[in-house]
Structure 1
Amino acid sequence: MSLPPDSPGRRSGTDLGEHLSLLRRRRVLFAGFVLAGGAAGLAAQWLTPSAYTATTHVLVAPVGVQEQTNQVTARQREPLNLDTEAQVAQSAVVAARAAKLLDAAELEPVEVTVPPNSAVLTISVTAATPGGAAAQSRAYAAAYLANRAAGAQAALALQQRAMLAKLRQVDTGLDTVTEELAALPRGSAEHTRALHRQSVLVRQAASLTLKYDALKTTTVTPGSVISDAVPPREPSSPSLPLHLGTGLMLGLLAGTAAAQVRDRLDTLLRAPADVERLTGLPVLAALPGHGDARTLHDLASTVIAACPGRRLLVTGVPAGHGVSLVAGTLAARTPLSVLDGSDVGDLTRADAAVLTAGLGVATAEQVTEAARRLRRHHVPVIGVVATAGESAAPDPVPPRQHTPLGKLVAGPERSTDPRLASVAGRSRRPRGTPS
C-alpha cells in the first residue's frame, strides 16, 4: 500500500522498522519470492554439470641467461619475475605444447597463480572428469618447463655464437698486431704502441675465452614439479552454498522489490492500522467485531471530548458504509446532535465530522479525499471509525431522547433532550448574566 502524494501521513521510508513492517504486511509475497529464489538455486545446482579441478605446483629456477629480474618487495622476495612467468604459462605456445603432449586437438583453459613470497607457480585445470583435469594440469606444467628450457637453450646458444664471433675478431686483431711488431724497430714509438695494442688484445682474448667456456658448461635448469596433479575425489563445481546462497539472495532482493511495488500500488484498507499508516487520521474504534461495551464507551468519550460544537456529522467511505451503525451508537451514547448527511445542509451546519471506513472496501485515496472535502468546508475531522460491515448493531443502551438521524437541529431549543435545552439556554445567556 502506498500513500497518496499529498497525504499528511506520508513518511520518508528510511526507517528500518517501516521496512520490516512492510515485509510483514507482504510476508506471503516476500516469502514466495525467497522460496522461488532458493528453488531456482537448487535447480541450477542440479542442472549444472560437475567439474573437477586439478593443480600442479612448479618450482621455477633461474636459468641464468636473459633472465627478467623482478624488484624484491614485501609480496615478491624472489629475483624472478613470476608474474611474467605466469603469463607465459598461460600463453598459446605452452597450450599448443601441452595439447601435443596429450595428442589432443584442444585443452581446457589453464589458470596460473603465484603464491606471495614464493617462486612457485600453481597450474590448475578444470575439466569434466577427474582424470582429464589431472592429465591436462600435468601436461601444462611439462609444456611450460619444456618451453622455458627451450627458450633458455636458444638464448644460451645465441650468447655462445656472439662470444665466439667476438673472440675470433680479437684473435684476428692479435695476429695483425703480432705481424706489425716483427717489422717495427725496437724502441720506436710505433713499436711501443703496437706492443700496447697486443697486450690489450691478449687480455680481451683471455676474458672472452673464459666467458665462452663458462657458457659452454652452463646447465639449463628451468625448474621442477614439486607437487604433481592427482585426480580430485570431489567436484569443484557446482557449489551448493554458492548456488543456494545466490538464489536466496536474488529471491530476497526480488521479494523486497515486489513487496515495495505491491505495497505502493495497493491502497485498500484491510486493517485499522492501515488507516492511520496511509491517511494519517486517528482510528477512534473498530466496529463491529470489536464493538464491545468498552469500545463503544471509549468511542463516545473521544467524540465528546474532541467535538468543538454540538452537531456531529457521520459520513461513510464508501458512501453510506457503516453510517447507520456509528451514527446510532453515537446518538444513543452522546448528547450531541448526530447528522448522517442525508440532509443537504448537514455538511454546512456540522461542527465536526467522523469518517467511517469500510475495511476491505475503502481505499486510502477515498478516505483522504473525503477528509479533504470536509476540511474544504471548514469541518474538522475527529477521526475514523473502521467498520467491517453493518450486520451487527450497537450494544443496547438505556433509551434516551435524542435528535432523530438525518434531521438537522437548528438550535438546542428545538431538541427534546432537556440537558441540551439547558446547555443551549446557558449558551444564549449574555456574558456576565448570573445563571
Structure 2
Amino acid sequence: MRTPAARTLADYGVIVRRSWWLVAGTVAAALAAGVAYTELSQEVYESTASVLVLPTAGDTEVQGARTAGQVNLDTEAQLVKSTEVAEAAAAALGADPAADLVSQVSVTVPPNTAVLEISFKAGTPQAAQEGTVAFSEAYLAHRLAGATASIEREIAAAAVELETVTTEIEAAEDRLDGLDAGEGGRAGLESDLQDLQSRAAEIEAAVAGLQAQAEAVSPGRVINQASLPQAPVSPNAMFNLAAAIGAGLPLGLMLAWARHRLARKVSYPADLVDRCELDVLASVPPAVKFQRREVFGAYSPGGRVFSQLRNIVASQLTREQRVIVVAGVAPGPAASVVAANLATAMARAGDRVTAVAANPSTTVGLPELFGTDPVPGLADAWSGRIDLAEAVQAAPRQPSLSVIGPGAAARAAGPTSEAAAETFAKLAEAGRFVVVDAPPLSCSADAQLLAGHADAVILAVQSQRDAIGETAAAAVAMRQIDTPLLGAVLLPGALGPMNTVPLPTARRELTARPAPSADETPTDSLEPVEDATEVIPAVDAVPSAAPAAEPR
C-alpha cells in the first residue's frame, strides 16, 4: 500500500492554486465589505490638547505610582474622566447628559513626562475642538478648586484659633484693668497677656501666608492648545481595507482547504495520490478535446500522453508479463478510452497487441473506437459458440493490433476464472501485450476476477465523475489480489461524444472517412490492412455504434 508523503509548502500551494477563484472571491468580498463599512460609517474628528500638571500643596507622593514625584499622573488621568469634571465640561458645552461625553474623551500620559494628552472625539471638527477645550479647562478648574479648598480649610481653622486667642486677650485686658498698679498678680497677668498677643500675631502671620499661598496656587496649564482637526480619524479607509484583506485572505485559504478536504469527486492527480493512495501513471489535461469517438492521433496532445503511458507500463513489466487489465471505477467510458489508446500506443511502438473488450456496460466500446465488429466476440468464445481465434479481428490502420469484441452474449454470460485464465494464456502466446477493458469495480466483481489472471492492473479514473471513496475502494479491491496495481490514469470530466450513448442502428453504416486533422498521425490516414484470408472493409473513422446482439 502506498503511504502518502508529508505535505510540503508546494502541496499547499497547489491546493490554493486549484481554488484561486475561491480565495480571490473571498478577499474581494471582504474588500467590498470594508469599502461599504468605510462609506457608511459616520465621520469622527479628534482634537487633542496637552496639559502640564504642576504639583500643589494638596499633592502627596503615592506609593506604587507610575510617575516619580508628588503628582500621580495615572490618578490625574482618571480625574479627567470623573463625573465632576464631565459635569463641568457638559455645563460649559451645554450638553446633556455628561455620561455621553465621558465616552468621547480619552487621556494618555507620555512616558517620563508630567503632561496629560486630553483628546475629544466628535462628529464635527468644531465640536471636537470645543470638547477638548471644555474638558481641559474643567480639569484644571477642578484641580485648582481642590488645591484651594485645602488652603481655605487651613485658613478657616487658623481664623477660629485667632478668634479664641483674641477672646482670651480681651479677657486678660479686662482683668488687668481691674487691678491697681502695685497689686499682687498684676505682673503675671501682664506676662500672660503678652504671650496671647504674640500667639495672635503668629496666627495672623500664618493666615496671611495661607492667603498668599492660595492666590499663588497653579494646578497646571495648557501647553498645546486644542487645534481644529483637518481630517477625520474615523473611518480610516486604509486601515479598514488592510483589516478586510487580513480577514478575507485567511478565510479564503480556510475555505480552499475545506473545499479540498470535503471534495467527494476526484478532480486532480493529487487527489489520487493523497486521498486514494494511488500513483498517477498519466493524466490527460482538461484542455485535450475529445471531438470524435476514436483514439488519439500519435502526435496529438492526448496521443503523446498515452505514448508516455506505454513507455511507463512497458518499463514495469518483464518480457513474460503481458496481460494488462484496465478497470474503471464507475460505469462510463473511462476504462474503454484508456484501454483503446494504450493498446494503440503499444501497436504504434511495434508491439503485437490484442485489445479485449470485456466491458459490455460502457457507452463506447473498443470495437467502435477501432472500427471493428462487436460480434463475434469474447462472450461467444466463453460460451463455446465459436473458437477464440474466430473472435479476433484485425484493426483497420493498425497492422499489429487485433481486437476482440464483447460478443453477442456479453450481457448474459459473465467470465469464469478458468475461461479467463485460458483466454489470457492463448492471447499472450500470440502477441507481446494483451490489454483488457474490464467492467467497472463499483458495480461488478468481474474486473477483480480478470485481474487475478493478469500481470498488471491500471485503474481508469474520470475527473469530476468518479467519487474519491469509490476510487479508494477500487484500489483496495485490486490490492487484495496478487496482481500488481501499477497506478491510475486520470481522464478529464468532459469526454465529448464518449459520454453519449449512440442511437441503436440495425447495421454499421459505412461512410467516407473525413480528411485527417493536424493532430493525426500518418498511420491513422492509411487504408485498412488486408490479410491473406479476409479483407477487412474500410470503415468510417467515426462509425455509428453497432448494438450488441440480443442473447440467444
Class of the TM-score when normalised by the shorter of the 2 chains: 0.7 to 0.9
Change (3 A) 1:360 1:347: same
Aligned to 1:63: 56
For the 8 Å contact 1:9–1:280, the answer to whether it is kept is yes
Aligned to 1:341: 438
Aligned to 1:124: 119
Measured after TM superposition, the shift of residue 25 of structure 1 is 0.9
Aligned to 1:156: 151
> 5 Å matches for 1:275-294?
275-287=272-284, 289=288, 294=304
Aligned to 1:312: 324
**CA distance in 1: counterparts of 2:480 and 2:169, whole angstroms:** 119
Q: What is the RMSD computed on CA atoms of the aligned residues?
A: 4.0
Aligned to 2:74: 83
**CA distance in 1: counterparts of 2:224 and 2:118, whole angstroms:** 10
After TM superposition, the structure 1 stretch with the greater mean CA deviation from structure 2, 386-395 or 315-324, is 386-395
Structure with the greater relative contact order (CA < 8 A, sep ≥ 6): 1 or 2? 1
**CA distance in 2: counterparts of 1:295 and 1:160, whole angstroms:** 105
Aligned to 1:406: none
Change (3 A) 1:59 1:185: closer
Report the TM-score when normalising by structure 1: 0.75
Change (3 A) 1:97 1:331: closer
Aligned to 2:142: 147
> What residue identity is the alignment partner of 1:286?
S
For the 8 Å contact 2:335–2:438, the answer to whether it is kept is no
Measured after TM superposition, the shift of residue 17 of structure 1 is 2.8
Report Cα offsets for 1:273-299 as digits up to 9, x if no partner: 443343332222234836555533332
Report the TM-score when normalising by structure 2: 0.60
**CA distance in 1: counterparts of 2:199 and 2:253, whole angstroms:** 82
Aligned to 2:96: 105
Report Cα offsets for 1:102-141 as digits up to 9, x if no partner: 2332363321222222222222111111111111211111
Report Cα offsets for 1:145-196 as digits up to 9, x if no partner: 21111122211111223344456677889999999xx97899xxxx9xx9x9
> 5 Å matches for 1:359-370?
359-370=463-474
Percent of matched pairs sharing the same residue: 32
Change (3 A) 1:237 1:7: farther
Whose helix fraction is larger, Structure 1's or Structure 2's? 1
Unaligned runs of 5+ in 2: 176-182, 289-299, 352-431, 440-445, 499-518, 532-552
Aligned to 2:512: none
Change (3 A) 1:215 1:354: same
For the residue of structure 1 that corresponds to 2:267, the secondary structure is coil
For the 8 Å contact 1:313–1:347, the answer to whether it is kept is yes
For the residue of structure 1 that corresponds to 2:452, the secondary structure is helix
Pick from 34, 37, 40 the counterpart of residue 47 of structure 1: 40
1:216 aligns with 2:211: yes
Aligned to 1:414: none
1:137 aligns with 2:132: yes
**CA distance in 1: counterparts of 2:473 and 2:17, whole angstroms:** 28
**CA distance in 1: counterparts of 2:269 and 2:454, whole angstroms:** 25
For the 8 Å contact 1:52–1:126, the answer to whether it is kept is yes
* Corresponding residue pairs, total: 384
Measured after TM superposition, the shift of residue 208 of structure 1 is 5.4
For the 8 Å contact 2:59–2:70, the answer to whether it is kept is no
For the 8 Å contact 1:22–1:259, the answer to whether it is kept is yes
For the 8 Å contact 1:77–1:118, the answer to whether it is kept is no
> What residue identity is the alignment partner of 2:470?
Q
For the 8 Å contact 1:307–1:382, the answer to whether it is kept is no
For the residue of structure 1 that corresponds to 2:51, the secondary structure is strand
After TM superposition, the structure 1 stretch with the greater mean CA deviation from structure 2, 76-85 or 47-56, is 76-85
> What residue identity is the alignment partner of 2:327?
T
**CA distance in 1: counterparts of 2:54 and 2:196, whole angstroms:** 37
